[in-house]
Amino acid sequence: MLVTGASGFVGRAVCDRALSLGMKVKGTHRSLGSQSLVPPGVEKIPIPSLGDDTDWSLALVGVDVVIHLAARVHVTKEPDSDQLAAYREVNTSGTERLARMAVAARVRRLVYVSSIKVNGEQTSSVPFTEADVPRPTDPYARSKWEAELALHRIESEAGLDVVILRPPIVYGRYVGANFLRLLRLVQRRIPVPLASVSNRRSLIYVKNLADAILNVATHSKTAGRTFLVSDGEDVSTPELIRGIANAMNLQARMLPFPPGLLNTLAHLFGRSTEVRRLLGSLVIDSTKIRSESGWVPPYTLSQGRRETVKWYFDEQNAHR
């Protein structure tokens, strides 16, 4: 098995889970600095960049399944057209290149971890499902959707088994970005004006995602399928904050504030995207992967949250 992006947040969890199941794992990383992040026991292979000319030949030797996690997630503030080109180079062209070389190497199956952002940014009264018409709105989501389309073309042309997963926000050991900022905010007991928020959001614990990835990588009936995947326990933003605070043995500090006014202020200060995620709903119906593959999340939201907080404190203690 080959795991691309093995030094990343999700990649490390997938490698750990695969090794625990007795699988032989190769893992790619971008640089010497990231090599040390790949879990012990994984055969490490440097792939400095992803694009339409990346040479995957060494990485694909003897591989029957590819788990494709490597992606471009962040681009500095540039015009949308420049951002889209940057995302496409890695996420679309890079994925297509890997898939075509996988076909040439006689790889049997490729699991592609896409994003729920392919479905859209928010839900109202109805959860997202696999039957929805994709509505990617930003350059990142468009590049992931275009990668899915490229994989479907290769699947029909060359017979490669393709499985696509679209997860929501992932949390757990090594988490970064907005979830890490939320952990810091709760720990510092800074009052946040979110007590009046009434929304629902789906999340997935990184070990649950790793388990789902390996499930669809090996299940006989998942080839050619797209699955939305989550913990299956949707929470409001205030519930999430209270849960994190409880895991930290703290009292959450939230103030009532009109969400409409929060949106207005966020727009004025150029923080609409971050605030929309805190105020809006994004709910996933993950019935399909459970019914078709028998997958059940091995960890509850509460367990995942506690382990995330434990890692967070362990990291702080290690750097003191």
Question: Which pair of tokens denotes residue 120?
Answer: 């859209």
- Residue 57: Cβ within 10 Å count: 10
Integer Cα distance of 37 and 6 in angstroms? 8
Distance CA 142, CA 136 (A): 5
Which residues are bridge partners to 170 per DSSP?
204
Query: What CA dihedral angle connects 208, 8, 250 and 276, to 10 degrees?
Result: -90
- What the block records as the tokens of 163 is 């499985």
Residue 205 among the catalytic residues: no
Catalytic residue among 140, 171, 205, 312: 140
Query: How many whole angstroms from its chain centre is CA 175?
Result: 10
Amino acid occupying residue 174: Y
Angstrom distance (rounded) from CA 301 to CA 207: 11
H/E element, 174: none
Spatial distance between the Cα atoms of 44 and 14, rounded to a whole number of angstroms: 14
| Dist CA 11 CA 163 (whole Å) | 17
Q: Residue 73: phi, psi to the nearest 5? A: -110, -35
No. of helices (H) and no. of strands (E), the chain: 13, 9
Residues labelled as active-site residues: 140
